[in-house]
């Protein structure tokens, strides 16, 4: 008897379930393209940059740093020539000789010029940081000065390294 009840309940349950699944209720989502799918994934166009407003105080500071950089270049180049002559005179001489000590002293003077150029680069970086902290746009004259300072410090490093390599090591 239990089998008959089981068969009868299955016989009733299956058609009801199948009938419920086959009904067209029109509740399925459409496969048509949705509005969000018509948009691309490309980044939106960047807004036009703001025109750069002149900053007289910054221009004055940049002019001062540029003048100091020019003086440092002249001094370094003058002393680099003297140092190269001293290093040439020290070649083949013993470490600690008068010629070697003269060349080392001249190299120390070049290090001083390089330190001054590095200090200027730091000052220019400070100006840029201060400007960035106020969310002001980049200032081309300041960017150019920073590039010139970086190039000058690299040039001075290369010159000092070249002259140092020509001297006998201690």
pLDDT in tens, 93-136: 888 788 888 999 999 999 999 999 999 999 999 999 999 999 88
Q: How many degrees, rounded to 5, is the angle at CA 111 between CA 89 and CA 87?
A: 10
pTM of the model: 0.69
Counting residues of the chain whose pLDDT is more than 70, the rounded percentage is: 84
Q: What is the rounded CA–CA span in Å between residue 102 and residue 167?
A: 11
Q: What is the rounded CA–CA span in Å between residue 135 and residue 165?
A: 45
Tokens standing for residue 120? 């200027």
Q: What is the rounded CA–CA span in Å between residue 20 and residue 96?
A: 103
List the one residue out of 86, 66, 82, 72 whose CA is nearest residue 148. 66
Q: What is the rounded CA–CA span in Å between residue 82 and residue 26?
A: 93
Q: What is the rounded CA–CA span in Å between residue 38 and residue 169?
A: 70
For 43-60, what is each residue's pLDDT tens digit?
888 888 778 888 999 999
Count of Cβ atoms closer than 10 Å to residue 68 Cβ: 15
């Amino acid at each position: 008897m239990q089998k008959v009840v089981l068969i009868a309940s299955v016989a009733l349950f299956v058609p009801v379930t199948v009938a419920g699944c086959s009904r067209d209720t029109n509740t399925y989502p459409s496969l048509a393209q949705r509005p969000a799918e018509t948009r691309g994934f490309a980044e939106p166009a960047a807004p036009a940059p703001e025109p750069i407003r002149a900053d007289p105080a910054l221009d004055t500071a940049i002019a001062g740093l540029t003048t100091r950089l020019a003086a440092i270049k002249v001094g370094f180049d003058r002393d680099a020539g003297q140092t190269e002559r001293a290093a040439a005179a020290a070649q083949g001489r013993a470490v600690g000789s008068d010629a070697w000590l003269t060349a080392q002293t001249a190299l120390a003077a070049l290090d001083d010029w390089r330190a001054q150029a590095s200090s200027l680069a730091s000052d220019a970086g400070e100006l840029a940081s201060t400007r960035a902290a106020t969310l002001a746009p980049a200032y081309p004259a300041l960017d150019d000065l920073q590039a010139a300072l970086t190039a000058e410090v690299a040039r001075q490093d290369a010159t000092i390294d070249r002259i140092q390599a020509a001297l006998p090591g201690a």
